[in-house]
Amino acid sequence: MKKLLFGFTLILGFSGGALGADSLVSEDSETCIECHASLHPGIVKDWLKSAHAKVSPAQALNKPKLERRISVEKVPEHLANKAIGCAECHTMNEGTHQDSFEHNDYQVHTVVTPNDCAVCHEAEARQYQKNLMSKARTILLENPVYMDLMTQINGTHRLEDKEIIVIPPNADTNADACLYCHGTKVEMEGLKTVDSDMGEMEVPILSGWPNQGVGRLNPDGTTGSCSACHVRHQYSIEMARRPYTCSECHKGPDVPAYAVYQVSKHGNIHSTHNKEWDFRAVPWKVGKDFTAPTCGACHVSLLVGEDGEIVAERTHQMNNRSTWRLFGVPYAHPHPKSSDTSTIRNKAGLPLPTELTGEPVSQFLIDAKEQQQRRDAMKTICLSCHGNGWVDGHFERLENTIATTNEMTLTSTKILITAWDKGVAKGLEHHDSIFNDVIEKKWTEQWLFYANSARLASAMAGADYGVFANGRWYLSKNIQEMLDYIHMRE
């Protein structure tokens, strides 16, 4: 007990009265902190630095609308005047969590989900569901073409009789690879007893854990993880606005948005001047708080101008300002209407948003009017720092890049079909994987690496990634190599 009290006092000293008689912290959360302060000092001190420890929902609702950081109009009475502490989050929506466990007289769940956050942040949770991100797990696992790709990449390759046999990947491999970003399924498998300074304690055994993938399937049936960008337990808005937070998932050769940003003028200005910027201000004032956009500024943030007029509304539907799905499988196309793309079928019956010829499967995709609205929303942001000529010129080039890279993909698709016709590789008609032959892998690289790289470079102004660093040089070289491969095998 001595150790417990010591931990508690330390916290009191540190927080300068966050806990105590007239404390903002609920009695329930104080109970948690009594043990967890010494058990997990990292967690408790992180939380003490958060807005959740310092501002009650009632105080938050008192702020002028544009400065508010909670999006509901009303918070349940028992939560309104208290800090959002351990107990508030980890016992929220009791009865809906498959992973809840009996813990010191509380029904606690470890996995705090978007639905729990929604009690105070309803708009963010609702909008987030319209992201492809929120369905990133379903989009992969319920699409046979994507599953084929996943198996060919993650499977263990074995040599038998001079042939390669692909052993399908196990759950740990997938959790360590694609599902690290796309999201695992977290399930309660049972309880285990752990030994601690406080004696023996039962804690849950969770499968698919740890994970913070954007499309994670949670034990309460919800999808997504706010922790992907809002790291527990500080929940700092600064971290969400910083570009490197997105780099965890948006950096590789297939998805080089961060790499592009880093070399762009915007990235360079961020690197040079970010120390003078105010990453905590809400709303975020263009020019005063920051002088070049980060990922958040262009895709998410509430931005205002000099006199507080709104430049962009905050959106957690992060495709709200995106006209195109640049990451095309295999062609770029207008954004899908619904975030659950697993129901899309093209004329050939394949679960893809375009035909193999590149023509978009329009009934599943946003129309020209919606595209225009989204482009205008993005352009309004640019126009707070640039003139019309600069911005229009930029987007005309992007349209051109989409058209030309799609054509380069089409050329490679035609070569691939020739290879299948000539029997140089086995494809759809042979009921074989379309990702396992050498020429099929080269076709995959054409759109997955080179075309995507060129398009992201064009969208976000990082020219190197559009040319020699996985861009147009490889788009053209690869086509010649694919054709050569057929000639060699004929």
User: Which residues ranging from 256 to 275 are in contact with ligand HEC (CB under 6 A)?
Assistant: 257-258, 261, 265-266, 269
Of 27 and 484, the one with the shorter C-beta distance to ligand HEC is 27
State the Cα–Cα distance between residues 196 and 202, nearest whole angstrom.
Answer: 10
Among 175, 304, 424, 459, binds ligand HEC (CB under 6 A): 459
Query: With binding defined as CB under 6 A, does residue 316 bind ligand HEC?
Result: yes
Least Cβ distance, residue 158 to ligand HEC (angstroms): 19
Among 175, 217, 246, 424, binds ligand HEC (CB under 6 A): 246
Contact segment (CB under 6 A) with ligand HEC among 160-168, 322-330, 439-447, 464-472 equals: 322-330
Of 406 and 424, the one with the shorter C-beta distance to ligand HEC is 406
Contact segment (CB under 6 A) with ligand HEC among 100-108, 155-163, 357-365, 473-481 equals: 100-108
Query: With binding defined as CB under 6 A, does residue 300 bind ligand HEC?
Result: yes
Strands 303-304 and 284-285: parallel
Contact segment (CB under 6 A) with ligand HEC among 5-13, 147-155, 404-412, 477-485 equals: 147-155
Of 182 and 185, the one with the shorter C-beta distance to ligand HEC is 182
Query: With binding defined as CB under 6 A, does residue 181 bind ligand HEC?
Result: yes
Structure tokens at 64: 């002028």
Least Cβ distance, residue 258 to ligand HEC (angstroms): 4
Among 460, 469, 479, 482, binds ligand HEC (CB under 6 A): 460
First-residue to last-residue Cα distance in the chain: 79
Contact segment (CB under 6 A) with ligand HEC among 13-21, 192-200, 408-416, 417-425 equals: 192-200
Query: With binding defined as CB under 6 A, does residue 220 bind ligand HEC?
Result: no
Query: With binding defined as CB under 6 A, does residue 25 bind ligand HEC?
Result: no
Query: With binding defined as CB under 6 A, does residue 364 bind ligand HEC?
Result: no
Of 427 and 462, the one with the shorter C-beta distance to ligand HEC is 462
Q: For helices 27-39 and 2-15, what crossing angle results, to 10°?
A: 110
Contact segment (CB under 6 A) with ligand HEC among 79-87, 422-430, 465-473, 478-486 equals: 79-87
Among 26, 184, 319, 478, binds ligand HEC (CB under 6 A): 319
Of 57 and 208, the one with the shorter C-beta distance to ligand HEC is 57
Of 89 and 451, the one with the shorter C-beta distance to ligand HEC is 89
Query: By rule CB under 6 A, what count of residues binds ligand HEC?
Result: 138
Query: With binding defined as CB under 6 A, does residue 232 bind ligand HEC?
Result: yes
Among 28, 148, 340, 464, binds ligand HEC (CB under 6 A): 28
Structure tokens at 321: 């300002």
Among 40, 49, 337, 441, binds ligand HEC (CB under 6 A): 40
Query: With binding defined as CB under 6 A, does residue 241 bind ligand HEC?
Result: yes
Could you tell me the sign of the dihedral formed by the alpha carbons of 390, 393, 399, 400, in that order?
negative
Of 98 and 418, the one with the shorter C-beta distance to ligand HEC is 98
Residues 122-141 that bind ligand HEC (CB under 6 A): 124-125, 128, 131-133, 136, 139-140
Contact segment (CB under 6 A) with ligand HEC among 11-19, 66-74, 354-362, 472-480 equals: 66-74
